[in-house]
């Protein structure tokens, strides 16, 4: 899911500060100092934006004609894969827009020395831009900048985001996603917390959201009037009013496991034991956050919007980090704490990225074309035994996948984007209640509501039921389907640690409008998808809502919110969300790998060790679960994707 108005307490650093994160990652390894392992790979001169070649132009033109009448998912498998490849190339060229140029620019400086380990704050990844992807740098855009100017405050409330939440999002009855388990819902929030967060804004005057006369918000614990904090503004002032607003990321942009490790050195070191590279895990649990008022949460890199599902995954992958440390130490007994830690972090992060790419994504987008496409992202089109025996074949992505291929940022420097943040408004996945079951017998122990396992009750729920029963429960329970009228009540009246209540459905709608996410039809067009021509076409997935949506939006198709359109849109068979939304994923999923030198030029044994690369290659989410919870073996017997329903005891 996505951030609302809060953030972790890591604290964003100004991009004008020294690159302490990189320096910290380049100190102390084989006795006392981390040294480049046979040198970190450094590309040649800074690459420019390469224009498309003849074959790319011909392919783009051909599929543009084909897609006027048949979408990629309506084509035969091989042709559909080729269509997706061409579409991804078009998106890479036309839907990566740098907010550099929007005003108040930071200085771009080269990286003095490429360290062989991930830095604490995300700096030092790119040889030509030391701060690319660093905590405290801007979120960029998939939409052209001229499309991302937000409306006035009055227009932001038309139609009322609260009425959209009440009439189109509110759960009328739980609609399950039968091909997934609840672990899939927890996973995406776990990953998203390592990618982007906007931070808190306690200073600006909040939005006041209009309430209808029959609205029961005040009677259910909410403040009256309803007030929603604005997004924290970019602290670097703009140079003029003709530039769209920009926002900073308070975590690193990279796929670096920062939700576990934190986005600054002080936070990271507070989570470590200082011995053998390990993270602090006590009696199989993460320790409690020691900060006043936060003791109900785990001590981890990012614990905002925390609940039991996140606690399970943060703990599991902290234990996986420690298992990797033990494995590496067995092969490299002279390595000191710092080198063991940084190498284990590389391996653990790559394993999480692999799980997300070839397990979670094909789980929620359950089609043969997508399964082959995501496997190709990671492994390439050749059989896996070829790579294992002969290594990479060529430099391109097609035969051997992205891993180990040359780094490429495509049309803009790497960063997370506002449209990508918006794509993860997947809150219908959360159920309002869960029946906790015994992992050995399958018998019901207790049915609890969402508020019984989030925020102030997070650690107490884990204490009460234990990791094994909770993992089994999450593995056998279904999340909600990503459709209209399925947004959980527990999130539409969410009690925060601060004591305030928020309607996350209202916040979701308002955030997109405030941050200039194009409305639904403009969103489709900017992603090279034909706009819908009627409300009937829009609601093909929810035909009973045609009249209601037309009335709420006063007959204006151009005002329909992207979140509403994506939930209402008919979707390809097996897809958990819309094809329009999927186009952001197909672009950004591969970009997070392709821009990161630790997945490209530095994905090699000199950096990861041969043992580390084999650990990534040989493991899956199922093997991770069984390593730390072998008692779940019967439930996972025969399960090939841990995000699909497990066997019931």
3-class SS of residue 176:
strand
Cα–Cα distance measured from residue 533 to residue 531, given in angstroms and rounded to the nearest whole number: 6
List, as own/partner pairs, every contact residues 152-155 make where C-beta atoms lie below 8 angstroms and the sequence separation is at least 24, other chains included: 153/207
Q: How far is CA 199 from CA 80, 188, 452, in A?
A: 40, 19, 25
Cβ-Cβ contacts under 8 Å for 506 (sequence gap 6 or more): 161, 162, 164, 165, 209, 226, 228, 492
Helices (H), 458-560: 458-465, 467-476, 489-492, 504-514, 520-526, 535-538, 546-552
327 is catalytic: no
- DSSP string spanning 100-129? TTSSSPPPP---SS--SS--SSS-S-SSS-
DSSP state of 643: T
**Residue pointed to by tokens 């703009």:** 238
Distance of CA 375 to the CA centre of its chain: 19
Which residues lie across from 282 on neighbouring strands?
285
Which pair of structure tokens corresponds to residue 373? 């496409």
Query: Which residue in the list 73, 97, 193, 198 is annotated as catalytic?
Result: 193
Q: What are phi and psi of 558, to 5 degrees?
A: -70, -10
Q: What are phi and psi of 494, to 5 degrees?
A: -90, 125
Q: What are phi and psi of 446, to 5 degrees?
A: -170, 145
Which pair of structure tokens corresponds to residue 85? 């490849």
Cβ-Cβ contacts under 8 Å for 423 (sequence gap 6 or more): 581, 584, 585, 588
Q: Cβ atoms within 10 A of the Cβ of 96, count? A: 23
3-class SS of residue 246:
coil
| 8 Å CB contact between 335 and 325 | no
| 8 Å CB contact between 379 and 477 | no
End-to-end CA distance of the chain: 30
| 8 Å CB contact between 487 and 505 | yes
Cα–Cα distance measured from residue 435 to residue 470, given in angstroms and rounded to the nearest whole number: 10
Active site residues: 193
């Amino acid at each position: 899911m996505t951030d609302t108005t809060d953030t972790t307490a890591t604290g964003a650093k100004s991009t004008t500060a020294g690159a302490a994160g990189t320096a910290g990652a380049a100190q102390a390894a084989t006795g006392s100092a981390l040294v480049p392992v046979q040198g970190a790979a450094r590309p040649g001169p800074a690459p420019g934006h390469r224009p498309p070649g003849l074959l790319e132009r011909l392919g783009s033109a051909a599929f543009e004609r084909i897609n006027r009448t048949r979408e990629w998912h309506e084509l035969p498998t091989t042709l559909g894969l080729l269509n997706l490849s061409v579409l991804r190339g078009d998106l890479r060229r036309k839907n990566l827009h740098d907010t550099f140029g929007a005003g108040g620019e930071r200085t771009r400086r080269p990286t003095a020395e490429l360290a062989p380990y991930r830095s604490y704050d995300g700096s030092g990844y790119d040889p030509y831009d030391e701060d690319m992807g660093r905590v405290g740098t801007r979120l960029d855009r998939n939409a052209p900048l001229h499309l991302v100017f937000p409306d006035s405050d009055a227009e932001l409330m038309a139609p009322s985001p609260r009425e959209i939440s009440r009439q189109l999002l509110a759960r009328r009855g739980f609609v399950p996603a039968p091909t997934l388990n609840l672990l899939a819902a927890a996973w995406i929030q776990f990953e998203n917390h390592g990618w982007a967060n906007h931070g808190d804004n306690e200073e600006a005057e909040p939005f006041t959201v209009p309430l209808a006369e029959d609205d029961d918000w005040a009677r259910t614990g909410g403040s009256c009037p309803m007030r929603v904090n604005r997004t924290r503004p970019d602290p670097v002032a703009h140079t003029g009013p003709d530039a769209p607003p920009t926002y900073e990321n308070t975590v690193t942009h990279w796929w670096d496991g920062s939700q576990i490790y934190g986005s600054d050195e002080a936070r990271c070191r507070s989570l470590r034991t200082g011995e053998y590279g390990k993270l602090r895990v006590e009696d199989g649990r993460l320790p409690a956050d020691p900060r006043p008022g936060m003791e109900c949460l785990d001590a981890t890199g990012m614990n905002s919007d925390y609940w039991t599902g996140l606690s399970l995954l943060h703990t599991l992958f902290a234990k996986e980090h420690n298992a990797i440390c033990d494995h590496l130490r067995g092969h490299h007994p002279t390595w000191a704490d710092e080198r063991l830690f940084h190498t284990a972090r590389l391996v653990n992060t790559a394993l999480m990225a692999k799980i997300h790419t070839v397990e979670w994504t094909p789980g929620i987008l359950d089609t043969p074309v997508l399964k082959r496409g995501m496997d190709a992202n990671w492994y390439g089109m050749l059989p896996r035994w070829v790579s294992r025996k002969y290594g990479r074949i060529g430099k391109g992505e097609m035969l051997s996948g992205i891993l180990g291929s040359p780094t490429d940022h495509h049309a803009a420097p790497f960063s997370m984007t506002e449209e990508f943040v918006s794509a993860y408004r997947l809150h219908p996945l959360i159920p309002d209640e869960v029946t906790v079951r015994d992992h050995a017998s399958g018998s019901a122990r207790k049915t609890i509501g969402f508020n019984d396992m989030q925020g102030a009750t997070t650690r107490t729920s884990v204490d009460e039921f234990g990791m094994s029963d909770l993992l089994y429960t999450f593995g056998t329970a279904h999340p909600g389907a990503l459709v209209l009228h399925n947004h959980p009540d527990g999130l539409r009246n969410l009690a925060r640690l601060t004591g305030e209540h928020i309607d996350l459905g209202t916040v979701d709608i308002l955030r997109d409008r405030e941050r200039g996410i194009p409305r639904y039809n403009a969103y489709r067009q900017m992603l090279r998808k034909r706009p819908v021509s009627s409300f009937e076409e829009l609601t093909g997935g929810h035909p009973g809502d045609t009249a209601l949506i037309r009335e709420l939006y006063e007959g204006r198709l151009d005002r329909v919110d992207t979140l509403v359109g994506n939930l209402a849109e008919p979707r390809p068979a097996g897809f958990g969300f819309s094809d329009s939304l999927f186009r952001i994923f197909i672009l950004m999923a591969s970009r997070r790998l392709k821009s990161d030198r630790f997945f490209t030029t530095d994905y090699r044994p000199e950096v990861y060790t041969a043992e580390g690369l084999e650990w990534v290659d040989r493991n899956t989410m199922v093997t991770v679960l069984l390593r730390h919870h072998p008692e779940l073996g019967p439930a996972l017997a025969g399960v090939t994707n841990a995000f699909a329903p497990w066997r019931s005891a």
